[in-house]
Structure 1
Amino acid sequence: MPFANSIESVIAIVVVFGLLVFIHELGHFLLAKRAGILCREFALGMGPKIFSVKKGETEYTLRLLPIGGMVRMAGEDPELDILKPQMQVTVELDPLGKVSRIILDPHHQPGPNQVTGTVIRYDLEQQLNMQLELAGEQKQFSVHPQAMLVKGDQEIQIAPLNRQFKGKTIMQRFWAIFAGPAFNFILAFVLFTLIGLFFGVPSNQPMLGEVKADGPAAQAGLQQGDRVLSIQGQPVASWDDLVEIVSMSPGKTLQMEIERDGQRKTVDVTILNEQNVGKIMVYKPVTYSPLHAVQYGAVSTYNFSAAILKSLGQLITGTYGLKDLSGPVGIFKMTGEFAQQGLSVLMSWAAVLSINLGLFNLLPVPALDGGRIAFLVVEALRGRPVDPNKEGMVHFLGFALLMLLILVVTWNDITRLFS
């Protein structure tokens, strides 16, 4: 059923990558909200919007291109530059006389509790007031901290400085940035723990797990739960010992001493030769325990993080080159392949990808979370922030280089795909 397998692979890719991006952005979102930052948008995907719904202060959107996502925080883009001095505006006043809406249409006809005038000056960040000229007379108005700027069909909530990203302390900004990668590590831990709970925790005991039907072990009469004591008289103390002896004996017949239900017996097993590697078609033994599952989740997350960091180090030192890297195409392909191997394999792969995403984003590279954290460190050391224009230019250049890297590794993927 190739077509059914293709559909299954596509669904797996969408679910896995949607989950990774959602959890990453959720980390940013929750810690930003906790710090009191106005989050204008929580988006999955990039490009044009295909779905959006607004709840509270935040617009939740699904965008066309299934790559990445974002949490758009107040102060990160020039959304308030649409209001200028000398513009004719209409302001709507709430029952306390504060401006609740600023309508930028010069042809708008004022209704109840609305007045029209020319903007003399305004401060929507700190003082929260604005001065208008009304029929030759200047009048000052207080502005509500959640007032809306209205331009056509678009309404934008103003953001006082204490609601903007830049208006928060260094530590509040740090946690809002760091939380994205941190949530990816938490997701990996949860996935590995769930694997341990539902599929069992792999054990290194020299015991047989599931015995595959018609395999060499099954043909020799071996059963799940048998404990291997020795092979050809050589003691077997662990599963790794068992695998090492078997894998180095393709095509041979080995005498195994096992223990079953307290009784010892000897069995002759003819080892399968699969590309010069010996196999008896037996799965690793597993144990079922909530405590072991949690331990397995923590240890697996740590071990894979260490292995990925080691690989990054080898990439920097030149042990690996760009030709060895996989990009989106290769990762999508592998995700589809793992989806065919069962839920536990797919969950393990998703956990590893989540760790990769977390570590990659923590690299001190402009345009990544690690690059933004680096600028916060510089700000803490020098006692004042880096010029926003200069920081923006650095992030832009970093983003351009990242796009170039993605193009290179995507070309590698396509070349491998058709080779």
Structure 2
Amino acid sequence: MLAVVTFIIVFGILVIVHEFGHFYAAKKSGILVREFSIGMGPKLIQTRKNGTTYTLRLLPLGGYVRMAGTQDDDNEIKPGTTATIRLNDKGIISRIDLSSKNIDIDGIPVQIVKADLIDDLTMTVFENGEEEQEKKYSVDHDATIVEEDGTEILIAPRDVHFQSATLWRRIVTNFAGPFNNVILSIVSFMIVAFMMGGVQDLSSNQVGEVQKDTPAYSAGIREGDKIVEINNEKTKTFKDIQSEISKAKDKSISLTVAHNKNTETIKVTPKKVNGSDSKIIGIKPSTDDSFMAKVKYGFIQPFAIAAMILTVLGHMITGGFSLDQLSGPVGIYSLTSQVASQGVISVISFIGMLSINLGIMNLIPIPALDGGKLLLNFIEGIRGKPISEEREGIINLIGVVILVVLMVAVTWNDIQRFFIH
């Protein structure tokens, strides 16, 4: 149960922070955000503020931002649809109710003949069942429409569409989601550093904790000592120490250790970890508990992870693709169940790691991902005109198909890895 709750919280934070980036940038760019949803599926509650309807939905898995004029924003009302319209004091439609859940006693029942809620802002209807005479109404620019599930949102006139914003503003809006994931990762690792009380100082060759019953402890190495040389190779940082230990071919290695002002050379035999080729002697780096060290950790850790991700992506391109290099929801859930048992700090670190991962993966130029949208933006900038909506729709459809196929393959591979084998 703890794993399920942790997975929902982690996944929800990642998606909501990502979508909030798109939401904030769109609002600042003059693009109408018709709905900001937390969760998916049937609507539970809703409220509307500053032109955006905020909804809470039944399935607590992520959320979404619905911007006017985008591919996933449906504005069409089919002829023959029954509705209830409400007029303002000027006889202009201010509300269109397509839902059958609630009866608008102040509204007029109509059958819609034609509706243009984008350019002309007009609606032609048969009123009160009088099908022999059509009546044409103007629709207010800020009119609302109640959808079949009861969600009330603003209509989407052309001037507040995503495509009506300048190219630069659209680029910022598309990039804002992954950017927010980077910010979340930085903040997460800063929080981790402060909760731990400090961070490992890999830039120093000073020894921190020495584990008992290990080669280092048996050889007399203690906290505060400095390992200045291994097998006649200078070791100025803890990374140098790790590197020299890992590549040592002999059964024993020679360490030059500084105890305060005294220096001595000792022999240590590293031991392998769980039968692998990794070698350890049982030491940890010293801890830097300064304020700036904790702040720097928030930046260093995400970008170190980002470098690893980019390296893996490079190998996937040049060295062959394998599904084992990817994880879907099943793989993330399996990892979440392990992390949840290790405490809050591990969960927050996990959020930071996943967030930078999500940000980078979203920037891959595959149609339907943010990276694919940015690629289309750059192509538009080069061409001097946008790609037609029809072509963009086809490109995005291809991207969705690719992502769905890949997700199914990755999910099945995860099930085999974590639950069958």
Same-fold call, TM cutoff 0.5: yes
Paired position in structure 2 for 1:259? 259
Alpha-carbon distance between aligned partners in 2 of 1:209 and 1:8, rounded to the nearest angstrom: 34
Q: Displacement of 1:324 after TM fit?
A: 3.5
Alpha-carbon distance between aligned partners in 1 of 2:103 and 2:7, rounded to the nearest angstrom: 52
Paired position in structure 2 for 1:27? 21
Q: Displacement of 1:207 after TM fit?
A: 0.9
Q: Which runs of 5+ in 1 are unaligned?
A: 1-6
Q: Displacement of 1:33 after TM fit?
A: 1.9
Paired position in structure 1 for 2:354? 353
Given residue 321 of structure 1, which amino acid in structure 2 is its aligned partner?
A: F
Alpha-carbon distance between aligned partners in 2 of 1:97 and 1:14, rounded to the nearest angstrom: 47
Q: Could you report, residue by residue, the CA deviation over 1:128-164 in whole angstroms, capped at 9, with x for unpaired residues?
A: 3446677888876543222223466634431222222
Kindly tell me: are residues 376 and 87 of structure 1, through their superposed partners in 2, closer, same or farther at Cα, counting changes over 3 Å?
A: same
- TM-score norm. by structure 1 comes to 0.80
Kindly tell me: are residues 213 and 55 of structure 1, through their superposed partners in 2, closer, same or farther at Cα, counting changes over 3 Å?
A: farther
Q: Displacement of 1:52 after TM fit?
A: 3.9
Q: Secondary structure at the match of 2:13?
A: helix
Paired position in structure 1 for 2:177? 180
Paired position in structure 2 for 1:322? 322
Identical pairs, percent: 33
Correspondence 1:148 to 2:133: no
Paired position in structure 2 for 1:371? 372
Residue pair 2:38, 2:56 contacting (<8 A) in 1 also: yes
Alpha-carbon distance between aligned partners in 2 of 1:246 and 1:96, rounded to the nearest angstrom: 82
Residue pair 1:52, 1:60 contacting (<8 A) in 2 also: yes
Residue pair 1:338, 1:349 contacting (<8 A) in 2 also: yes
1:10-409 matched pairs, under 5 angstroms: 10-46=4-40, 48-49=41-42, 51-56=44-49, 57-64=52-59, 66=61, 69-76=63-70, 77=72, 79-82=74-77, 84=79, 91-103=85-97, 122-130=115-123, 141-150=137-146, 154=150, 155-199=152-196, 200-201=198-199, 202-219=201-218, 222-230=221-229, 236-247=235-246, 248=248, 252=252, 257-260=257-260, 263-264=261-262, 266=264, 271=269, 273-274=271-272, 275=275, 277-317=278-318, 319-328=319-328, 329-340=330-341, 343-409=344-410
Kindly tell me: are residues 8 and 29 of structure 1, through their superposed partners in 2, closer, same or farther at Cα, counting changes over 3 Å?
A: same
Q: Displacement of 1:232 after TM fit?
A: 7.2
Alpha-carbon distance between aligned partners in 1 of 2:333 and 2:81, rounded to the nearest angstrom: 51
Q: Secondary structure at the match of 1:176?
A: helix
Alpha-carbon distance between aligned partners in 2 of 1:118 and 1:242, rounded to the nearest angstrom: 78
Alpha-carbon distance between aligned partners in 2 of 1:132 and 1:172, rounded to the nearest angstrom: 37
Given residue 264 of structure 1, which amino acid in structure 2 is its aligned partner?
A: N
Residue pair 1:212, 1:218 contacting (<8 A) in 2 also: yes
Task: Give the aligned length.
Answer: 405
Alpha-carbon distance between aligned partners in 1 of 2:400 and 2:148, rounded to the nearest angstrom: 33
Q: Which runs of 5+ in 2 are unaligned?
A: none
Paired position in structure 2 for 1:3? none
Residue pair 2:185, 2:351 contacting (<8 A) in 1 also: yes
